[in-house]
Every structure is written in structure tokens, then in C-alpha cells.
Amino acid sequence: MTIDENSYGNNLKKIVFEETDHQHAKFILRLRHNSISQSDFFRAVMNGFINSDERICSYIDDFVKDNKILSKQRLEKSRSLKKIGRQKIQDFGFSEIELEKLFDIIEEQKSEL
């Protein structure tokens, strides 16, 4: 199966998981209380996670630690690598917009090869 490079990023995907009826009911109530749809909620969380929003990433790090998803050693290595990455971005002085432009240039060059 080949991927049409022109359509990549435009194909819709479903993200599905199961939860108990009680958790689902509590979730729906909180969404209604905050006047937000399920899809808007999940898109916001997903975008925050993808874009390394500190608030989301901090919560996920705590979740991983509290639920022992990673060993202490791997969790500490992950934190260390993230810290190094943030420091390198700061050292080079790239803004978010500049990083996006850089990735766009790389993508353009890749498609020309």
C-alpha cells in the first residue's frame, strides 16, 4: 500500500478507547459544565501534548510516574533529554515560528529529493 504524499495530513483517523460508564458520565458532566464538546476537548489535549505544552506535559509526566508506566531510570532519562532539548532550542535562539519554518524547509527539501 502506497501513501499519496499529497493527501497525507488530510486523511481523518478515529481515536477510540473504552472507559467505564461511571467515568464516562462524570466526563460528560464536566464537559457540559465547561461548555466544551468531546472532540474539542480531545483535540485541545492532543494539540497541547503534540506541541509540548508545559501544562499538559507536566500532567502526563506525573501520570506516568504515579502509575509506574516507566521505570524511574527511564523517566529520569526522558526528563533529562527534554531539558537538554529545551536548552538547545534556547541556546540557538529559535522561536516557535522559526522552528516551524525550519521544519517546513526540511519538508520541502525532502520532497525535492
Per-residue pLDDT of the chain (113 residues; tens, 9 = 90+): 455 667 778 889 999 999 999 999 999 999 999 999 999 999 999 999 998 898 998 899 889 889 988 888 887 888 888 888 878 877 887 777 887 888 788 877 766 55
- CA-nearest of 87, 62, 88, 56 to 75 is 62
φ and ψ at residue 38, rounded to 5 degrees: -60, -45
| Per-residue pLDDT at 54 | 87
Cα–Cα distance list, 74 to 27, 52, 68, 78, 86 (Å) = 31, 19, 11, 6, 18
pLDDT for res 46: 95
